[in-house]
Structure 1
Amino acid sequence: NWYRPNLRVKNRDGCTPIGPWRVDAADVADPMQLDLQTRVDGVVTQRGNTRDMIFDIPFLIEYFSAFMTLQPGDLILTGTPDGVVDCPVGAEVVTEIEGIGALTNTICRGNA
């Protein structure tokens, strides 16, 4: 992403909300068959499935392992389904993955 215009909007201090829990690989029957959904203030803005990813999870693990050491607990952030939207300050964003759970965040103004 270094040479792409989305670098600025995807990488900001405090802007990688993760949690509130992690799921072990053994708890996910097929990571390439999970429904994804994002809602902003209750309106669905994104819907997708991991089967639609350009690169599957095994490929990404193999690829990254070729030039870095992956440790237990490391995260690989894989991107987002179509339908991104600008969120105003105060918007509630709920991101949900089937069988894993939902993460709720409220957009706040950062320090400039």
Structure 2
Amino acid sequence: MEPKHKELLHQYHQNLLESITDADRLIELLSKSGSLSEQETFELDQNCSSSAEKVEQLLKMLMNKQSDHFLELCVALEKTYPHLYSALFANGGGPADHSDDEVMVFVVVQ
């Protein structure tokens, strides 16, 4: 996950834990999008007793993945908790802006 997305999730961590009361619905959407494997979904269901616990583990899983599933999380939040989606997306959760990144161009002369 991109550092700026991790930072946003850290920043809104407590709000997400308190506001997401139906973690199963969120997990279902993330599973359908391919962000969570069947095994991860099973682990969340078996190892977590409360919704807050599931959200805690879910966030850890998403942040530890190689690929960035932040936008899928935002889409799932938009469908289940629009106010959380708005807060995350409005505070920089949109697509990464790489316009300031340094670009190195190599020209091959034959």
Q: How would you bin the TM-score normalised by the shorter chain?
A: 0.3 to 0.5
TM-score by length of 2: 0.35
Greater share of residues in strand? 1
Instruction: Please state which structure has a larger fraction of its residues in helix.
Output: 2
Of structures 1 and 2, the one with the larger relative CO (CA 8 A, separation 6+) is: 2
Instruction: Give the TM-score normalised by structure 1.
Output: 0.35
